[in-house]
Amino acid sequence: MMNGCKDPSSLPDMENGRNLLVKDEMSKYQIVLSSEASASEVTAANELQKYIKSMSGCSLEITDDTSAPSGHEIVIGQTARDVYGDFDWDWMGEEGYTVLVKDFTLVIAGGSGRGTLYGVYGFLESLGCRFFAPDCETVPKLETILIDADYRDSQRPAFSFRDVFWACAFDEEWSVKQRVNSCFNLFNRTLGRSISPEWGGGISNAGPQHVHNFEMLVPVDKYFESHPEYFSEINGKRTSEFLYSQLCLTNEDVFQIVVNQIREWMKENPDSKVVPISQNDSYVIESYCTCENCKQINRQERSYSGTLIWFVNRVAEELKDEFPDVIFETLAYQFSALPPRNLKPAENVIVRYCISSCAPHALTECPANASAVENIEKWLEAGFNLYVWDYTTNFAQYLCPMPNMERLQKNAQYFYEKGIKGVFAQGNYQDPVSGEFGMLRSYLLAKLLWDPYTDLEQHKQEFLNAYYGGGGAKVGEYLDILHGLVLDHNREFNLVSNAVDIFQGLITDEMLAELDALWADAVAAAEDDETALLHVRRSELQYRYYKMLSKRGEFSDEENYEALAAAFNNDCGELGVSYFSEGNPIPWNN
């Protein structure tokens, strides 16, 4: 008798032509692991056991492959069992997986522990489980669990690097369930995602943060006073001003300092897979060094990325034997947006192109995006391994209604078809609670980064109905109206636009009343579900924010405007929303 299950001896092997896994809290099956299973394979077995019990009331026993085959097994990961003849390990790679039935054995295994975990969650999804958010999962209640006798599902990711860089999506377990594999971090590794080996690990960066790290490689405070020549020469003067300066990449001392600093970072974080070497963020595009040596390279390459790629190639070549499994990543951003004319990338170098584009429209469907498309394709034509950095929020107004979801799938398909290797989708990375639609967008992005051709509308509808409960249909209507307004009127805006400007002339008084009614109905429909009601009230904040900025609706009362705005801020605090914009906390949180 299996632990936690009733006596299964009376169960048939099949029912209605399908293998019978569980019926009436009984099962003949046990879960089998290798006796040397990795930590993540153990997690995979435990997760499968947990969710099957939650679905059916039956807790399957977990054993290892030193036991004799029982004839009814769920084999997890790579074991000594003779069940892998139909597995194409090369096709799966590190993160792909296969789930298949062989007689009365169900096999779930991937190219690594992470792939096996993904396979378990994929199988659970095939049974109806959904993992929408850390606080929103659906698990069907099933008296009977049947599996097709010829069941087979083989999947692998479209992109080798997948990051949904929204703070609401940093949760470790949710990330694994949605197959997000990036552990990139900021601010001395205090902000970002962490995935432990027990959950399959992820792709992590060396050093204090994954981007804009010239300042950390060669700190101004440490070197500028004694060696100003290490930093940008601009208008004939060396400068160290924060957000206005870079490194002098042709200086030989800078090269040695960077190489040695990377060695130190790799000692501190030996499991890191990516070493970032990227320009500082800057308020001005012309922050690059214009000394004669740097000028010469950039002239030859007809791009200010010339010195950057030349330098990163040198570092990658110097360190490739010490760190053969590491890639060196830099940015195509601001002054480095265009590829060099002649330089070719080292094999262990990745360029991450930062997309400046029209927010609501797909890259290939808006004239404002033509330069971004042209630049991406130039990098690819030049032979570079390319990731993209896609901006998916409004950084000037985190609470601005952002109708950009219609572009997500088209962009993901474009990236995949062009051969882009990885996607970093940056959103509101500071606020763990989104007052817009951060959780919905994160869920959809995660699905697309695994499979750009997935049925996104189905995923969206399932999410709305589960996350917002009875209010989901009304929230969906609101989203459809906003996206329709922007697209039907061909409204163009970017990632720092003002909410008032975005919707200027689009939302009539009659439509405002209609939107008010939708949110009132959504709140009323979710009242019996405390969690769903919380989700509705949080997501309504973006609409209230628009009304507050535009002084419409209840915020048209000028005499009481300040009190109404203060009440809105307090509501944000009550609902856990902390930031108005990038680096700008809501006043209650100061």
Per-residue pLDDT, 589:
45
How far CA 258 is from CA of 171, 180, 246, 276, 312, in Å, comes to: 32, 30, 13, 11, 10
Confidence of residue 590 (pLDDT cuts 50, 70, 90): very low
CA distance 493 to 394: 10
User: Residue 366: CB partners within 8 Å, gap ≥ 6?
Assistant: 357, 358, 492
Neighbouring-strand partners of residue 581: 584
Q: Report helix, strand or coil for 576.
A: coil
State yes or no: pLDDT of 125 exceeds 80. Answer: yes
Look up tokens 């917002």; give the residue. Answer: 468
Per-residue pLDDT, 145:
99
pLDDT digits (tens, 9 = 90+) for 547-574: 999 999 999 999 999 999 999 999 999 9
User: Residue 560: CB partners within 8 Å, gap ≥ 6?
Assistant: none
CATH topology of domain 161-471: TIM Barrel (3.20.20)
Per-residue pLDDT, 588:
67
Per-residue pLDDT, 243:
87
CA distance 438 to 298: 40
How far CA 391 is from CA of 131, 133, 493, in Å, comes to: 24, 21, 13
State yes or no: pLDDT of 503 exceeds 80. Answer: yes
Q: Mean pLDDT score of the chain, rounded to an integer?
A: 97
pLDDT digits (tens, 9 = 90+) for 258-287: 999 999 999 999 999 999 999 999 999 899
CA distance 251 to 253: 6
pTM for the full model? 0.97
Query: What are the two backbone dihedrals, phi and then psi, of residue 559, each rounded to the nearest 5 degrees?
Result: -65, -35
Per-residue pLDDT, 7:
81
State yes or no: pLDDT of 4 exceeds 90. Answer: no
Q: Cβ atoms within 10 A of the Cβ of 355, count?
A: 20
Q: Report the run of H or E that residue 353 belongs to, with start and end.
A: strand 349-354
Confidence of residue 2 (pLDDT cuts 50, 70, 90): very low
Per-residue pLDDT, 3:
55
Per-residue pLDDT, 1:
40
Q: Cβ atoms within 10 A of the Cβ of 30, count?
A: 19
pLDDT digits (tens, 9 = 90+) for 73-91: 999 999 999 999 999 999 9
Q: How far apart are the first and last CA of the chain?
A: 59
Mean local confidence (pLDDT), 446-462: 99
State yes or no: pLDDT of 334 exceeds 90. Answer: yes
User: Residue 233: CB partners within 8 Å, gap ≥ 6?
Assistant: 239, 248, 289, 290, 291, 294
Secondary structure tally for the chain: helices H, strands E: 18, 25
Q: Report helix, strand or coil for 275.
A: strand
Contact 371, 554 (CB under 8 A): no
Burial 517-546 (b: 16+ CB within 10 A, else e): ebbebbbebbeeeeebbbbbbbbbbbbbbb
Mean local confidence (pLDDT), 170-175: 98
CATH topology of domain 14-155: Chitobiase; domain 2 (3.30.379)
Mean local confidence (pLDDT), 340-362: 97
Per-residue pLDDT, 583:
93
Per-residue pLDDT, 242:
86
Contact 539, 437 (CB under 8 A): yes
Domain ranges of the chain: 14-155, 161-471, 472-589
Nearest CA to 254 out of 286, 222, 283, 285 is that of 222
State yes or no: pLDDT of 44 exceeds 90. Answer: yes
Mean local confidence (pLDDT), 380-399: 98
User: Residue 81: CB partners within 8 Å, gap ≥ 6?
Assistant: 32, 65, 69, 73, 75, 105, 107
Mean local confidence (pLDDT), 194-220: 98
pLDDT digits (tens, 9 = 90+) for 92-114: 999 999 999 999 999 999 988 89
pLDDT digits (tens, 9 = 90+) for 472-481: 999 999 999 9
Instruction: Tell me what percent of the residues of the chain surpass a pLDDT of 90.
Output: 96
Mean local confidence (pLDDT), 411-433: 98
